[in-house]
Amino acid sequence: MTARRIVLIVLDGIGDRPHPALGGATPLSAARTPVLDRFAREGVTGIMDTIAPGIRPGSDTSHLALLGYPPEECYTGRGPLEAEGSGIRMLPGMIGFRANYATVGPDGAVTDRRAGRIQGTAPLSKAIEVGVDLSPFGVSFRFVSGAGHRAALALKGPGLGDGVSSNDPKHEGIPPIPFASTTDRPEDEKTAAVLNEFVRQARPILLEHPLNRERQSRGLHPANEVLLRGAGLMGNFEPFEERYGLRGAVVSAATLITGIGKVVGLETISVEGATGSLDSNIEGKVRAAGEALADRGFVLLNIKGADESGHDGKPEQKRDFIERIDGALEPLLALDETVIAICGDHSTPCVVKDHSADPVPVLIHGEGVRPDRVESYDEFACAEGGLHRIRGRDLLPILMDLIGKAHKYGA
């Protein structure tokens, strides 16, 4: 029997490096994962460079590659994708930015780039949309909250460019950096001026907002600064259904991944309680992914919490969250006529607290798969698997072949 559907499960930031707190194990290899191990034992495994060996992937470029859209051909920056995921309709020619709500101290230096991982920032974003006026530049904008401390900005108007720097210092203890053009083009110089004016006007709005006053009264970090980065010009993407002949959906709490799904034409499936963090409703997301297969041939399921623990340098927390993921995935073992691929989009080692170029473990399970001898799913075991070492762009063609939709090359 040939399978007819695909589920691609991306365990965001799952890869790691040996950690002394775990006796030299990675969080994945230290975790108790009977479900993932069964998927591995019954399937074929390997390791994967989502972009290429030695390249540190972003979540944006890696997901594009996993969906078969080579980022070197179609990637213009994370901002437009983040904006789409936040609910902003991005049209070709608009400029998009990803944003963080951050905390700046009395001395003007950033004290927390994520404002204490604040939640519920929609009132702040609405106040900025209402209160900031960019009309003297002939520019209109949308500013919308994403998950947690994240938000997105989209600019629309004549003479705008995406060749601008970020105001994000990347580290605490440093003041936000004024925006500047990275080229000598007048459109980029105009955009830098627009952004400097945007954050200048936003600061007093945030400072006086009741939400921030209430946070300060409780000793919490106020969200009193907007950090913008990832500038990009919105382009055109070939629809996924036209590219592969499959109607698809995306289940994700991360606005970036939702945005990538939207720009390629994957239907967004929302799940109550899905946060993109450690408290996410993983079980609900898995259930929604299974239900979406009733009338779709492809589902992308992103589960993000492990990445957060990697960025925070907490190996035990990452291990424990992986065990939560494992239990939640068990219902997918009962799916028939379905090929399931499970992988990371990048490694986020706890010792690095950022993405690294380490390859991620990958497995494929379902009808037609030729099992190898690997019996567990982790960075060490999968390195000995039958898929060997592949690139992210190789994965979907392999899956398409397993469901009988690959095209012959040649006569």
- Please check whether residue 84 is in contact with residue 261, taking contact to mean a CB–CB distance below 8 angstroms: no
**Would you say residue 262 has pLDDT above 80?**
yes
Q: What is the pLDDT of residue 276?
A: 86
**Would you say residue 396 has pLDDT above 90?**
yes
Q: What is the pLDDT of residue 92?
A: 86
- Report the distance separating Cα 64 and Cα 259, nearest Å: 11
| Average pLDDT, integer, range 94-118 | 95
Tokens linked to 7? 């589920």
Q: What is the pLDDT of residue 148?
A: 86
| Average pLDDT, integer, range 212-229 | 96
Q: What is the pLDDT of residue 327?
A: 97
Q: 65-102 pLDDT, tens per residue?
A: 999 999 999 888 899 999 999 999 998 889 999 999 99
Q: What is the pLDDT of residue 334?
A: 95
Pairing of strands 298-303, 5-11: parallel
* 5-75+237-402 has CATH 3.40.720.10 classification: yes
Cα 251 off chain centre by:
12
Going from N- to C-terminal start, the domains of the chain cover: 5-75+237-402, 82-233
Q: What is the pLDDT of residue 255?
A: 87
| Average pLDDT, integer, range 402-406 | 95
Ramachandran region, residue 315 (left: φ > 0; alpha: ψ -120 to 50; beta: rest): alpha
Q: What spatial distance separates the first Cα and last Cα of the chain, rounded to whole Å?
A: 25
Q: 8-46 pLDDT, tens per residue?
A: 999 999 999 999 999 999 999 999 999 999 999 999 999
| Average pLDDT, integer, range 349-367 | 97
Q: What is the pLDDT of residue 236?
A: 84
| Average pLDDT, integer, range 336-342 | 97
Q: 136-180 pLDDT, tens per residue?
A: 999 999 999 988 899 999 999 999 999 999 999 999 999 999 999
| Average pLDDT, integer, range 366-376 | 97
The model's pTM? 0.88
The total of other beta-carbon atoms located within 10 Å of residue 17's CB is 18
Q: What is the pLDDT of residue 2?
A: 85
Residue position matching structure tokens 């340098």: 313
Q: Report the C-alpha dihedral over residues 221, 224, 230, 235, rounded to 10 degrees.
A: 120
Q: What is the pLDDT of residue 60?
A: 95
Average pLDDT, the chain: 96
| Average pLDDT, integer, range 400-406 | 96
